[in-house]
Amino acid sequence: AQTVTQSQPEMSVQEAETVTLSCTYDTSESDYYLFWYKQPPSRQMILVIRQEAYKQQNATENRFSVNFQKAAKSFSLKISDSQLGDAAMYFCAYRSGMYSGGGADGLTFGKGTHLIIQP
Amino acid sequence: DGGITQSPKYLFRKEGQNVTLSCEQNLNHDAMYWYRQDPGQGLRLIYYSQIVNDFQKGDIAEGYSVSREKKESFPLTVTSAQKNPTAFYLCASSIDPPGQGQPQHFGDGTRLSIL
């Protein structure tokens, strides 16, 4: 079974600064997908970014980018120019791919990192 | 607008009572999922369904049941066998052909508490 570990229960950053959230995962599979989801106080889960394991290029979505280190099984999220609206819980998640024989089931989540933005 | 609707937003259960959480989607997604979220925890998978009339147990299915009679609907019943049902429940769907890693879209959740 796969596991996802987020070692930072809480992080704080000044508005307009850059912050990096850590995520490591354990798997024996070669085909998989990784995600970062944001959960603001409204509790809705919002997709931030998606990474395909077979792609070397790190995914980027506006101010959000990842540092995907497949050999190290690391998938960190960098938020640039932090804004007050970025304050939320951030969850890292894993999903098996088709060529790993899986993917029909759901996501495996880490326990989350609470991000605080200081004005 | 397309999306996932969960109801009710808040639900209270008495001892020995079964309660049903509703999840409806109009995204034409084949796959649907139920997750449970406890304080300080990530989401854990309860049940999932890839097609109508078929569903599979997730990691924490004990004390829960589901049905999938229509593509749009995937209700979750929390039975009296679930001894610690207080949690936040999230329903999700995805267009996923299995294994292609499409993102899951989530509803707004239902908070279930014990009376």
pLDDT given at position A33: 93
- Tell me the pLDDT of chain B averaged across its residues: 92
CB contact under 8 A, A98 and B108: no
CA distance B83 to chain A (A): 22
- Tokens (6 digits) for B80: 């009296």
Contacts of A70 (CB under 8 A, 6+ apart): A53
Amino acid at B30: D
> Are A23 and A6 within 8 A, CB to CB?
yes
Residues in B lying within 8 Å of A, measured between beta carbons: 31, 33, 35, 40-45, 48, 50, 56, 58, 88, 90, 92, 96-101, 103-109
- Tell me the pLDDT of chain A averaged across its residues: 93
Give the residue carrying structure tokens 């796959």.
B31
Measured CA to CA, the distance from residue A44 to residue A59 in angstroms comes to 23
Q: If we measure between CA atoms, which residue out of A49, A46, A35, A41 comes closest to residue A2?
A: A35
CB contact under 8 A, B58 and A44: no
List CB contacts (< 8 A) between B88 and chain A: 43
pLDDT at A76 over 90: yes
Q: How far is CA B54 from the centre of its chain?
A: 15
CB contact under 8 A, B99 and A111: no
The neighbour count for residue B81, using CB atoms within 10 Å, is: 11
pLDDT given at position A71: 94
Phi, psi dihedral angles at A80 (to 5 degrees): -95, 150
CB contact under 8 A, A103 and B96: yes
Measured CA to CA, the distance from residue A32 to residue A49 in angstroms comes to 14
pLDDT at B110 over 70: yes
- Which of A53-67, A91-105, B2-16, B25-39 is predicted with the least confidence, judged by mean pLDDT? A91-105
pLDDT > 90: what percent of chain A?
Answer: 83
